Chain A
């Protein structure tokens, strides 16, 4: 469907896209994931023919975007990072202009506009000037423009930026609806969004493709170990001392919390469930355990691990690449290495804070979305795990 071969884009000396190659097949939702400045938007701009590439080629349904631009562009609907809206037009006028620009025949034009307006729910704003619309509405008008004409490929650059949680849910539902008949490519620096919506994730860092697979596979490759978040009313050192003897723990990261509490992230070994033994360990030590929950942040780890490194294997090979990574996270099992490990973990966290500012932000919106999920309808992965855990506990209590 789309074939990108050896794409390079240079801005002066700066290499924005670095020998990127991938293929996109019909009928799936693809997610470009990467920190800001990773080259996601540039790649999308080249794929849609807005920018020219320094090297390499893009084929859309076999048509080269540079040699047969009109034929190639006919297959694409594009919503750029900033929706390309004319502020002095009404929504309806704008959509009619876009429809004519895309060469939709006059007879079908008003029918298709109505259909798209209903799809993105802007029918009620049809007569309003775009400059008077809110950010969320503008984003939806931009989306309507991209969907108009129902092209085979719909490319969305950060479609949920600036939307409130309810609108984010709506836009995700819409994307899923579109994916039934179209190939959708979206970019985001928000992990939760990509994990929830996409069938296939491509992680881009510093202009290179560092990993591409389904979310499940990406998680599996790192190992099926979950992370358990704990919070206890004691010091971090004490937490480590208590957990030292609990079996099934692969790695512990701790930090001091507010009001004499300590927070910890405990990674389980494959296939183990340590929650009960952690609970018993704290109970026998007589220390109140305030929080104990499974967090599904393993994909986040993948992301951090891949985007933090300066050098990535140019042609990322799934297996060999992952084997390289795993020893780093595993070699920390022996109890004697605990003190050392704390330091390492703390530096890591500090680094992450510095270099990946948007991840922190991403985390925040993830929570927002998750909260909204509870209120609305869909249940995110995080939520479902929490609920099952909760149910399990209830059951135990009942048995007792």
Chain B
């Protein structure tokens, strides 16, 4: 695992993607820092950091796109998979290397609140927590990007699909505000979700009885709930899907100074899920 970690880190810095990511993120944050904190005198560095979020949308796919797609294309995965190292260790080694690249600019960011402090009042707790959560959010994005890279042989496809998903997640709040909030529309949305789930079950098992059962039971339960207590469905869709806007946990800290602990738990579980999915998708490729 350590060998893979070291090789991945070295290759990231030899191939320019690492330095470009680090330099771009620091330069971008530096400009915001100058504008907000230095020129305008706003004492919170966390607010500056929220502006840098957009760099992640382009920067993280850049780091993750090569991780597994290139190994697969060059057949170097044959070396990794036939070596006496288990697959989860291979995936973790690579993932930790990417997390390290993301950590580098965040370590440098730790200087910025101190600069503010030398000029006057600084809110160090909030600033440092926001830097930590910002790093964690980067790790969440990296896990998603790594998974998408494991699905394809092409770096370009990995980059574009990762970028697309991050963009949708970034704009998610705006998309959600367009959803209707009434109870009926909530029911329709739930029915659509159940149908999608039933279709997925059919696709995986090709068992018509099972998928039909999921559909009928699900629909019956949700309609019964609607008849009995329709108020549950009000704003249900935007509450349910709003969780997908992962960045909200971070922006909650930067704009309202509220740390949502369940949100941090959500980040950690999303990371675990996508690392697991990456292992599974590589396993699946061995068997098909």
Which residues of chain A have a CB within 8 Å of any CB of chain B? 11, 45, 48-52, 69-71, 73-74, 76, 78, 80, 82, 84-89, 93, 97-98, 100-103, 145
Contact = CB atoms under 8 A, between A and B. Distances in A.
Interface residues of B, number: 25
Interface in B1-52: 2-4, 6-7, 10-11, 14-15
B78 A88 contact: no
A386 B15 CA distance: 56
Main secondary structure of the interface of B (DSSP, over half): helix
23 contacts: A48-B82, A50-B81, A50-B82, A51-B286, A51-B287, A52-B287, A69-B86, A71-B84, A73-B82, A73-B83, A73-B84, A84-B78, A85-B76, A86-B7, A89-B11, A98-B79, A98-B83, A100-B3, A101-B4, A101-B83, A102-B83, A103-B84, A145-B79
A86 B71 CA distance: 9
B84 A74 contact: yes
B75 interface: yes
Nearest to B3: A100
A307 B82 CA distance: 30
A146 to B, nearest CB: 10
Contacts of B76: 84-86
For the complex of A and B, 8 pairs with smallest distance between CB atoms: A100-B3, A84-B79, A73-B84, A52-B287, A48-B82, A84-B76, A101-B83, A74-B84
A98 B82 CA distance: 11
A98 B77 CA distance: 12
Contacts of B80: 101
B85 interface: yes
Nearest to A73: B84
A76 to B, nearest CB: 7
B3 A84 contact: no
Interface string B48-88: 00000000000000000000000000111111111111100
A48 B79 CA distance: 10
Contacts of A87: 74
Given A49-B81, A73-B84, A82-B75, A88 B2 contact: no
A100 B93 CA distance: 13
Given A50-B286, A88-B15, A97-B7, 15 more contacts: A45-B78, A50-B78, A51-B286, A52-B287, A69-B86, A73-B83, A84-B76, A84-B77, A84-B78, A85-B76, A86-B74, A87-B74, A88-B11, A100-B6, A101-B84
B287 A76 contact: no
